[in-house]
Amino acid sequence: MSGDGKYFATTKKGEIHELKEELRVLDKSRRKDAVKKVIAAMTVGKDVSPIFPDVVNCMQTDDLELKKLVYLYLINYAKSQPDLAIMAVNTFVKDSQDPNPLIRALAVRTMGCIRVDKITEYLCDPLQRCLKDDDPYVRKTAAVCVAKLYDINPELVEDRGFLDLLKDLLADSNPMVVANAVAALADIRETSSHNLLVLTNQALFKLLRALNECTEWGQVYILDAISKMQISEAKDAESIVERVVPRLQHANSAVVLSAVKVVLLQLPLISDEAAVKALIKKLGPPLVTLLSEEAEVQYVALRNINLIVQKHPEVLSHEIKVFFCKYNDPIYVKLEKLDIMIALANERNIDQVLLELKEYATEVDVDFVRKAVRAIGRCAVTLERAAERCINVLLELIKQKVNYVVQEAVVVIKDIFRRYPNRYESIIATLCDSLDSLDEPEARASMVWIIGEYAERIDNADELLESFLEAFPEENAAVQLQLVTAAVKLFLKNPQPRAQQMIQLVLTYATQETDNPDLRDRAYVYWRLLSSDPEAARAVVLAEKPVISQGTATMDPQLLSTLLGNLSTLSSVYHLPPSAFVTRAAHTPAPSLDNGALRERTTTDDGVAAAAGSSSSGPVSDGAPSSAAAAAQPPSSSSLIGDLLDLDISDPSPAAAAAPVEELVEVMSPQNGKGLGIKAGFSRENNAPVFLLQLANTTQQSLDGFMVQFNKNSHGVAPASQVVQVPPLGPGETAGASVPLTTNPALINPAANPATIQVAIRNNQQGVLYFTSPFKPDILAAPAASPVDDNFFGL
């Protein structure tokens, strides 16, 4: 064996002892070899801290190579041996005054990396000297050192006036020093409350001048610093743009993207429309050039381009061809390209795009194929004049009878029907032919919706629905919801005995045998409507539905503008605001509650608020306006037995109202919960106690399989079922859930704090998390006069 590899070879016992011996020899080159062995052991994770003093003894040497090795060791182990690390201080201080600038810089650099308080005290004087050193290499190292020190001890940095010295370096004659000073100040600003980069115009132009001269990395730091400045004068914006535009030609993708960000941020300030147009035109080619880079760089570029084209599609509208997928693109690049193709598709290029998408739909990767089929659907929904061509392509694909293609196509055709009602229904027959191949909930739910919605045009709609109903109890909740609605629609459109029988069956099951509150509530609403006023039911269920908007897939404008401000940062890759994944940054207001996750729970005065059963529960939203919920009352047990369609409810229970509804409180922040944020509270729903959860997934993966359990508590409260009824949570999604509760005397712990309950929640991806939720025992008390049917509500 040759080279450094041999240092990894020793694995015998007593190795530490041997090393110790070797470190004591006088021969310099043998001693250096010994230190290399120590570093090798350290690299592979062995603990070589016991020989700390012996290694530090080698520190005082003229051999720069040996010195560097010892420093490397020190950085690694000083924290575990703070008292011994002090031994090194003298050498450091001496080195920081060495005539050789390399040694001065090395000393300051290393001291900054040793995160031991006692050492940092000794660091201040050398640092002060080095910040004013004659040699730029030392100054640039010292600038970074200020940031290191600030991270360890901010007060010390402020007391010693290092921040001002650092700001002085912004005007340094050496661009490398300027760049490091900018980087250090930006870093310090992240943690401190001071706004350190408030720059005068003069300083701004100094930075812009340094831009041309410093390294590519320095350029990125300066550009990012400029992007964070508040520019308000059009004049300033114009001169920034003028200086920054040449950076778009840089070979380093980070420089290009940061420059694009700076230019985009200045656009609103520039009033000359022709100038803005010209600028936007200049952004296109450099962005396209990024796609010639390695796949990794392409991926980051594509995620950023995705944001840019949502705001300024004209930047790349003529370049759609470069986003066509290549055979050898990694899947993560292909999926991103598809998104951008959809965003750039217009009536001029749609034929080309469709031709491509059709090819993709025959590829091997299932996810990619699915996404391609969805893309065709999205083009149909957004481009009215191309809709027919899109549908033809979808039909061709369905005829190839590849199972997952058919399923995906059904899902998107449902959306097309909702976008263009009464235009393309002629294709329903083709869809019905492939009914048997649908085995995924979303596809089945979509198909059921189509059958229900167009029951009058499908000759055997009742037969088709019946075939679905056979397996009703085993269906996924989303399909069940659609089946209930479809059965009601069928009945209202064609009240034949067969339909009546079907609806009776479905509603009975949905009200009596399911433990899914959404399903049960929706069934009750229909039941009540049908039994009290069939005309009203018709008005509600068969109401004309609003045409879905084309923007189903676009981003919230506020989030988009946040992300565009964070272009060329991780935030723009994750498509999440920085606060969602950066733990150190100051806490920003939580993102606005996502639509309907908490629904009316906190506002209605009615305990059965969730009964609306419309908005977020299924893939298809139905006409039933949520105000219908107010009319619904929990039927008393006696009326359940009566004739379904003659349901007589003369006895609206008075006590249904006024259950205590609690605000949900944050019991776990995403930082503490491995990226899962949890709000929780206790309340009553349908006259029964429930535990309400709001789960916010800020991780990069989808979370599912949520289960919940309580520790023994003062009232013996426990979830009726450990399974939390919540759909899989995609990255960035938020969902609410309510967990029905029971009480069990066996679970009473009289010693527990009656005001809190300890909760454990788990999911398939993150394992178990623990938190404590405030608890008010009064949710357990059923309102006195309520005729609660235990069989039903007791769950």
**Between residue 455 and residue 494, which ones bind other proteins under the rule CB under 8 A?**
none
Q: Helix 175-191 and helix 136-152: axis angle, to 10°?
A: 0
Task: Report the site for other proteins in 145-184 (rule: CB under 8 A).
Answer: 145, 147-148, 151, 176, 180, 183-184
Residue with tokens 């031709």: 355
257 binds other proteins (CB under 8 A): yes
Whether residue 207 contacts residue 199, with contact meaning beta carbons closer than 8 Å, is answered with yes
Query: How many residues bind other proteins, per CB under 8 A?
Result: 93
Whether residue 131 contacts residue 90, with contact meaning beta carbons closer than 8 Å, is answered with no
575 binds other proteins (CB under 8 A): no
When the beta carbons of 254 and 455 are compared against other proteins, the nearer one is 254
573 binds other proteins (CB under 8 A): yes
Question: Which residues lie across from 768 on neighbouring strands?
Answer: 762
252 binds other proteins (CB under 8 A): yes
CA-CA-CA-CA dihedral for 456, 458, 459, 465, to nearest 10: -100
Whether residue 617 contacts residue 599, with contact meaning beta carbons closer than 8 Å, is answered with no
Binding mask 423-462 for other proteins (x = CB under 8 A): ----------------------------------------
When the beta carbons of 727 and 731 are compared against other proteins, the nearer one is 731
Angstrom distances, CA of residue 626 to CA of 409, 479, 600, 622, 684: 30, 20, 10, 10, 19
Q: Cβ neighbours of residue 220 under 8 Å, at least 6 residues apart?
A: 252, 254, 255, 258
Binding mask 378-417 for other proteins (x = CB under 8 A): ----------------------x-----------------
674 binds other proteins (CB under 8 A): yes
Instruction: Using CB under 8 A, pick the residue from 16, 60, 98, 115 that binds other proteins.
Output: 115
289 binds other proteins (CB under 8 A): yes
328 binds other proteins (CB under 8 A): yes
When the beta carbons of 204 and 254 are compared against other proteins, the nearer one is 254
Write out the DSSP string of 72-134.
Answer: HHHHHHGGG-HHHHGGGHHHHHHHTT-SSHHHHHHHHHHHHH---HHHHHHHHHHHHHHHT-S
Whether residue 338 contacts residue 372, with contact meaning beta carbons closer than 8 Å, is answered with yes
329 binds other proteins (CB under 8 A): yes
Of 692, 671, 676, 698, nearest to 768 by C-alpha is 676
Sole window of 298-306, 557-565, 621-629, 773-781 interacting with other proteins (rule: CB under 8 A): 298-306
β-strand pairing of 676-685 with 717-719: unpaired
560 binds other proteins (CB under 8 A): no
Shortest spacing between CB 228 and other proteins, in angstroms: 11
Instruction: Using CB under 8 A, pick the residue from 50, 285, 557, 794 that binds other proteins.
Output: 285
- Specify the amino acid at residue 211: L
Instruction: Using CB under 8 A, pick the residue from 206, 250, 312, 498 that binds other proteins.
Output: 250
How far is the C-alpha of 10 from the C-alpha of 381, rounded, in Å? Answer: 67
How far is the C-alpha of 250 from the C-alpha of 259, rounded, in Å? Answer: 10
Instruction: Using CB under 8 A, pick the residue from 292, 422, 627, 650 that binds other proteins.
Output: 292
Instruction: Using CB under 8 A, pick the residue from 59, 301, 668, 737 that binds other proteins.
Output: 301
When the beta carbons of 637 and 671 are compared against other proteins, the nearer one is 671
When the beta carbons of 389 and 538 are compared against other proteins, the nearer one is 389
When the beta carbons of 258 and 763 are compared against other proteins, the nearer one is 258
When the beta carbons of 252 and 743 are compared against other proteins, the nearer one is 252
Sole window of 67-75, 375-383, 462-470, 518-526 interacting with other proteins (rule: CB under 8 A): 67-75
43 binds other proteins (CB under 8 A): yes
Write out the DSSP string of 56-87.
Answer: HHTTS-S-HHHHHHHHHHHHHHGGG-HHHHGG
The dihedral built from the CA positions of residue 317, 318, 323 and 324, taken in this order, carries a sign that is positive
220 binds other proteins (CB under 8 A): yes
Task: Report the site for other proteins in 508-537 (rule: CB under 8 A).
Answer: none
Instruction: Using CB under 8 A, pick the residue from 634, 675, 677, 681 that binds other proteins.
Output: 675
Name the helix (H) or strand (E) containing 742: strand 734-743
When the beta carbons of 142 and 478 are compared against other proteins, the nearer one is 142
When the beta carbons of 581 and 771 are compared against other proteins, the nearer one is 581
Phi/psi of residue 592, nearest 5 degrees? -55, 145
Beta strands in 227-302 (DSSP E): none
Task: Report the site for other proteins in 182-211 (rule: CB under 8 A).
Answer: 183-184, 190
Shortest spacing between CB 679 and other proteins, in angstroms: 19
When the beta carbons of 221 and 524 are compared against other proteins, the nearer one is 221
Rg (CA), the chain: 34
648 binds other proteins (CB under 8 A): no
Task: Report the site for other proteins in 580-619 (rule: CB under 8 A).
Answer: 581-585
215 binds other proteins (CB under 8 A): yes
When the beta carbons of 237 and 255 are compared against other proteins, the nearer one is 255
Instruction: Using CB under 8 A, pick the residue from 275, 570, 658, 665 that binds other proteins.
Output: 570
- Specify the amino acid at residue 323: F
Shortest spacing between CB 343 and other proteins, in angstroms: 19
Beta-carbon count within 10 A of 272 CB? 11
Question: What is the rounded end-to-end Cα distance, in angstroms, of the chain?
Answer: 71
Whether residue 128 contacts residue 161, with contact meaning beta carbons closer than 8 Å, is answered with no
Task: Report the site for other proteins in 683-722 (rule: CB under 8 A).
Answer: 699-700
Phi/psi of residue 735, nearest 5 degrees? -145, 155
Q: Cβ neighbours of residue 54 under 8 Å, at least 6 residues apart?
A: 19, 20, 23, 24
3 binds other proteins (CB under 8 A): yes
Beta strands in 645-720 (DSSP E): 665-668, 676-685, 688-697, 707-710, 717-719
When the beta carbons of 382 and 407 are compared against other proteins, the nearer one is 407
Shortest spacing between CB 304 and other proteins, in angstroms: 8
Shortest spacing between CB 84 and other proteins, in angstroms: 19
